[in-house]
Amino acid sequence: MLEFTIPGTLPTLNEIIKASKSHPIAYANMKKDYTALVMLHARKLPKLERTDVDITWYCKDMRKDKDNIAAGTKFILDGIVKAKIIKNDGWKQIGNINHHFEVDKDNPRIKVELHQI
C-alpha cells in the first residue's frame, strides 16, 4: 500500500460548477492548480500499473454532502497521473475507488491510499 496526504480540502462539486459557470477559464485554472497540489504530495511514490484507491476525507464539519465532497476525486486521479504514478486514470489502471468520511475540525485533510492490484 502507498499513501499520501493532501492538507486542507479540495473544491466541492458546487464550487467546481460555480467556477465553470463564472468564466471560461476559471475551471481550467482550478483544475490545473488542484491537480498540481495533488501531484506535489504524491510525486515521490513509485509507479503502479493498476491500483485500487481508498480516499479518507477528513472534513472540518458535516455541513457539506458527501457526494459534493467526493467530486475532488477528479483532482486526485489527475494528480497521480501527472505525478507519473499511474499511466492513465482509465479502467485499465484504476480498480475500485472507496470513500470514507471523518470529521477533524482542527486538521481537515485528505488521505489517499493506493493498493496495487
Report residue 90 as a C-alpha cell: 482509465
Residue 27 belongs to domain spanning: 2-116
CATH of the domain at 48: 3.30.1330.70
**Are the CB atoms for 28 and 19 separated by under 8 Å?**
no
Structural domains counted in the chain? 1
Helices 26-42 and 73-82 pack at an angle, to 10 degrees, of: 60
- C-alpha closest to that of 80 among 51, 109, 117: 51
Per-residue pLDDT of the chain (117 residues; tens, 9 = 90+): 999 999 999 999 999 999 999 988 999 999 999 999 999 999 999 999 999 999 999 999 999 999 999 999 999 999 999 999 999 999 999 999 999 999 999 999 999 999 999
